[in-house]
Chains A and B, each alone.
Chain A
Amino acid sequence: MTDFTMPSLGADMDEGTLVEWLVKPGDQVKSGDVVAVIETSKGAIETEIFENGTVAELRAQVGETLPVGSVLATIVSEQSSTEVTADSGGRATVSSGAGVKADSGPSASAGRSPATGARSEPGEPAPAAAPAVVRASPAARKRAAELGLVLADIPGTGPGTAVTLSDVETAGETKPLPTPGSGAKRGFDPESMRRGIAAAMARSKKEIPHYYLSTQIDMTRAQQWLSAENAGRRVTDRLLQVVLPLKAMALALRKVPELNGFYRGGVFEQAERVHVGMAIALRGGGLIAPALHDVDRRTLDDVMQGLNDLITRARTGMLRSSEMSDPTITLSNMGETGVEGIFGVIYPPQVAIVGLGTVVERPWVVEGRVEVRPVMQATLSADHRVSDGHRGAIFLKTLEKLLQAPEAL
C-alpha cells in the first residue's frame, strides 16, 4: 500500500485544492494516468500518478485545500510496478506520451463525490471517447464554481471545445437560482500567482549566484530556410520561428549538460532528458513555465505541435502535473515584442534560463563589408554553483552554430 500525495507543482506551490477525482476505489491505475484535478494558483492541473496499481481509498474530498505532501489516496501497488523510470537524479519521469488512458471515460463520470453537495455530476456515463476532464479556461472554471455550475454540462465554444468565460456566463443566465459552490478557492488567481512568482524569484535571487552571457546570432539562414519550408504549408501547419532556437538549445545542452537539471540540497542532479520550460505569459497577468518534454529527441514538426498544444492548454485548458514539475531548463522568448534582449531569473531548482530577443534587422559585418541582417540576441543566465562562464559560452556558441544549419535541426 502506498500513498498518492499532493504533488509539489513547482517551487512556488505549497498547497492545492482537490477539484475533481477521476478515479474511484477499485479502479486500476497505471503510471502516467491522470487521476485528479488539482487547483493551484496557476489554475487547474491534471494530476498524474506515477505508479501501477489499484485505488484502495480516496482520502481527500473534493473541495479540500491541503498542503503539499498530504495523502490524497491510497494505492495497492502491483508487485513489480516499476514502469516508472528514474533519471540520474532519482526523479520519477514518464514518457511524454503518457496521458489519460482510453477507457477512463466511465470512471471519470463515476468520480462524483457524494461527500460534498457542491458538485452534482449527472449520472449517465460519459461516452468512452470523451475526454476525462472538461477543458475550460481558468477564469471560466472560477466563474462556474461561483455560479455553482457543473463544467461538464456547459457546451464549450473555445479552442478544442473548451468552456470559455462567456459560455459560463451564458449558462449562468439560463440557469435560475444557482447554488453557491463549496466555498473552496478555485480558478486562476492573479494575486496568489503573483505571490508564488514573488516567492520563487526572491528565493532564486537570494540563493542562486547567477552569471549572465549574451551573444548576437545571425538569423539569415534560419529565416530563409523557414520561409521556404513554410511556403508549401497551410497556415495551421507552419512552423513558428521559435521552434528553431528551441530545438537548437535542446541539442546544445548535450554538449553542456551541466546547464540541464536541478540543484537540490547542495547537489547538482543532471537530467538525462531535456524538458524545456516554456515561459508563457497569461492574459490578465502572470506567468507559467510548463515543460515541453524531450525537445532534443523530437522533430521540428513535433516540437511545433507540442508547443501549440502546450500554450493552448496553458491559456485555455489544463496542464498536467508532470509538465508543471519537471522542466529541466527554461526558455523565455520575447517573440515579436520588439525587445532585443532578456536576462532571465533562474526558476529554482533549475540551474539555467535561456532568453531570446526579437529578431531585428541590424548592420552585420560579413567578410569586411557591412550588410543588413536579421539578428537575434540569445542570452544565458546560469547558476555559478554548477557551471562557469566558459562552459556557458560553449553552450551559446553551439546554439549559434546549430542555427546556421537549420536543415539539420
Chain B
Amino acid sequence: MNETAKNSEQILAILKRELGNIAPEADLDALEPSLDVREELDIDSFDFVRYIAAVCETLETDVPEQDYIEFSTLERAQRYLLR
C-alpha cells in the first residue's frame, strides 16, 4: 500500500466521493457502512470495478483482482486500505 498516509476519515471521504460519482442520486451519509454497497446502491459489476479503479487512482495504489471483494462495504474497504 502506498504511504501518502491517509487517515481513516480521509479514506472514508474518498470512498464516498467515488461512490457518489457512480451513484450520484444516492444519499451516502445515510448508507450503513456494514452493508454491501452493490446491493444498497444497485451497482453492477462494471461500475463496481470502475469504483475500485477510481479509488486506486486517488490513493495511487493498486488492488489485486482477488481483493475486489474487500470493497463490498465501506467499512471493509476502509480497513483494507488502512492496512
Contact = CB atoms under 8 A, between A and B. Distances in A.
Interface stretch (B6-14, B58-66, B73-81): B58-66
A137 B24 contact: yes
Given A236-B57, A281-B44, A158 B21 contact: yes
- Which size class do B's interface residues fall under? 20 to 34
Contacts, number: 49
Contacts of B48: 336
A361 to B, nearest CB: 15
Contact of A166 (B24, B57, B64): B24
B80 to A, nearest CB: 14
Contacts of A231: 64-65
B44 A335 contact: yes
B3 interface: no
A164 B22 CA distance: 10
A283 B53 CA distance: 20
Given A283-B23, A284-B25, A235 B63 contact: yes
A311 B63 contact: no
Contacts of A165: 24-25
Interface centre among B42, B48, B63, B65 (most CB of A within 10 A): B65
Contacts of B45: 240, 335-336
Main SS at interface, chain B: helix
B42 A283 contact: yes
A165 B63 CA distance: 30
- Which size class do A's interface residues fall under? 20 to 34
A198 B78 CA distance: 43
A339 to B, nearest CB: 12
Interface string A223-237: 000010011001110
A136 to B, nearest CB: 12
Given A137-B24, A159-B21, A283-B25, A240 B46 contact: yes
A24 to B, nearest CB: 34
Nearest to B49: A240
Contacts of B52: 235
B82 interface: no
B35 interface: no
B44 A164 contact: no
B3 to A, nearest CB: 18
B1 interface: no
Contacts of A284: 25
B53 to A, nearest CB: 5
* List of 6 A-B pairs having minimum Cβ-Cβ separation, nearest first: A335-B45, A336-B45, A235-B53, A236-B53, A235-B56, A230-B65
Interface of B: 20-21, 23-25, 38, 42, 44-50, 52-53, 56-57, 62-65
Given A281-B44, A337-B44, 19 more contacts: A137-B24, A139-B24, A158-B21, A159-B21, A164-B24, A165-B25, A166-B24, A230-B65, A231-B64, A234-B62, A235-B52, A238-B49, A238-B65, A240-B45, A283-B42, A315-B47, A336-B44, A336-B45, A336-B48
28 contacts: A137-B24, A139-B24, A157-B21, A158-B21, A159-B21, A164-B24, A165-B24, A165-B25, A166-B20, A230-B65, A234-B62, A235-B56, A235-B62, A235-B63, A236-B56, A236-B57, A238-B49, A238-B65, A240-B45, A240-B46, A240-B49, A281-B44, A283-B23, A283-B25, A315-B47, A335-B45, A336-B48, A337-B44
